[in-house]
């Protein structure tokens, strides 16, 4: 870490402080700073940024901070610290934008299906907003005898009460930029200990996130579309900045 750029050190330090604070007061920290679904009253506008500094466990923050250090540090000499910071945050914002876009699409898709079955949107939102969803469901007896409707409601409740956190979206943007500058660098995963050049490794990683995001094949609480959003934002920024490389950065 002796030659680590200051901005990388500062970002890691903020993430570590937030992680330690979360370890001490998890309920408060998750409630205030993790990203909530905007229809949920626990959503606050600052969560759009603060969720990038929150992590759900030791391995989560370890892998993200290692990636930030390993792939972010070489980018500083191309971007400079200020432009790197802009790139980092824009990638993170692009990640949450795509993630929420998918969540909204699914949420209101389920709602429209319930409305087509004859249930009112106001009744469904009453259940979602209720501190006791099961009790609220009991007030709409027709739901109790419709397994399809209950399944749709369960999916809406899952989205409504979801929280999203982590720097992974911004990290994926950094990975894309790293691939632009160092396409022949050899990378590998822990469970796939065979080095692959970045120009192949990074697209395969993104395609895997698209696949698992669409199919939910692994059934793990991973925000795959946030990863994809960060990567796409990084790709767009690199494409835009590359057109003005003499102005923005050098090789």
Tell me the CATH number at 25. Answer: 1.20.1540.10
Which domain-ending residue is among 160, 183, 200? Answer: 160
Q: Is the pLDDT of residue 246 over 50?
A: no
β-strand 163-164 against 186-189: which pairing, if any?
unpaired
The closest alpha carbon to 118, from 93, 92, 141, belongs to 141
Q: Is residue 1 part of a domain?
A: no
State the average pLDDT for the chain.
89
Q: Quickly count: other Cβ atoms within 10 Å of residue 42's Cβ.
A: 13
Distance CA 51, CA 165 (A): 5
Convert the pLDDT of each residue in 127-158 to its tens digit: 998 878 888 888 788 887 888 999 999 999 99
Does residue 74 sit in the same domain as residue 119?
no
pLDDT at 61 over 70: yes
**Cβ 245 vs Cβ 95: under 8 Å:** no
Q: Same structural domain for residues 133 and 237?
A: no
Q: What is the dihedral of CA 130, 133, 138, 139, to 10 degrees?
A: 20
In which domain, by residue range, is 235 found?
6-99+165-248
Enter the pTM of the model. Answer: 0.89
Residues 145 and 53 in one domain: no
Q: How many angstroms separate the CA atoms of 141 and 226, rounded?
A: 37
Query: Which of the listed residues 116, 143, 160 is the one where a domain comes to its end?
Result: 160
* Plot region of 80 (φ>0 → left; ψ -120 to 50 → alpha; else → beta): left
Query: Quick one: which of 237, 219, 235, 225 has its CA closest to 96?
Result: 225
CB atoms within 10 A of CB 209: 22
Q: Which of 167, 55, 161 is nearest to 103 (CA)?
A: 161
pLDDT tens digits for range 186-222: 887 665 677 888 898 899 989 988 988 888 766 677 8
Angle at 58 between CA 55 and CA 62, to 5 degrees: 85
| Together in a domain, 133 and 111 | yes
38 within domain boundaries: yes
Whether 57 is covered by a domain: the verdict is yes
Q: Residue 1 above 80 pLDDT?
A: no
Tell whether 238 and 174 lie within a shared domain: yes
Q: Is residue 216 part of a domain?
A: yes
Same domain for 173 and 78? yes
Please check whether residue 129 is in contact with residue 27, taking contact to mean a CB–CB distance below 8 angstroms: no
Q: What percent of the chain has pLDDT over 70?
A: 93
Q: Which of 139, 160, 181 is the last residue of a domain?
A: 160
Looking at the structure, tell me whether residues 18 and 73 fall in a common domain.
yes
Q: Are residues 22 and 79 in the same domain?
A: yes
Asked if 169 and 208 sit in the same domain, the reply is yes
Looking at the 3D structure of the chain, how many domains does it have?
2
Confidence of residue 250 (pLDDT cuts 50, 70, 90): very low
For residues 210 and 241, state if they share a domain: yes
- Tell me what pLDDT residue 244 has: 62
184 and 90 within one domain: yes
Q: Are residues 131 and 206 in the same domain?
A: no
């Amino acid at each position: 870490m002796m030659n680590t750029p200051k901005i990388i050190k500062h970002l890691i330090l903020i993430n570590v402080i937030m992680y330690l604070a979360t370890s001490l007061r998890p309920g408060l920290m998750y409630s205030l700073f993790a990203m909530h679904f905007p229809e949920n009253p626990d959503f606050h506008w600052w969560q759009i940024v603060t969720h990038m500094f929150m992590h759900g466990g030791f391995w989560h923050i370890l892998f993200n901070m290692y990636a930030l250090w390993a792939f972010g540090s070489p980018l500083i000499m191309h971007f400079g610290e200020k432009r790197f910071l802009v790139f980092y945050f824009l990638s993170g914002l692009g990640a949450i934008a795509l993630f929420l876009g998918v969540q909204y699409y699914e949420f209101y898709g389920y709602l429209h299906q319930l409305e087509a079955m004859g249930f009112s949107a106001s009744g469904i939102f009453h259940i979602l907003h209720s501190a006791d969803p099961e009790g609220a469901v009991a007030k709409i007896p027709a739901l109790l005898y419709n397994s399809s409707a209950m399944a749709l409601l369960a999916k809406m409740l899952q989205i409504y009460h979801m929280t999203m956190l982590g720097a992974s979206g911004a990290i994926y943007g950094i990975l894309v930029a790293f691939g632009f500058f160092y396409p022949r660098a050899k990378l590998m995963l822990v469970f796939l200990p065979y080095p692959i050049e970045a120009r192949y490794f990074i697209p395969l990683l993104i395609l895997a996130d698209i696949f698992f995001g669409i199919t939910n094949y692994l059934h793990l609480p991973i925000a795959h579309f946030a990863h994809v959003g960060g990567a796409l934002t990084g790709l767009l920024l690199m494409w835009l900045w590359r057109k003005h490389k003499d102005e923005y950065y050098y090789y």
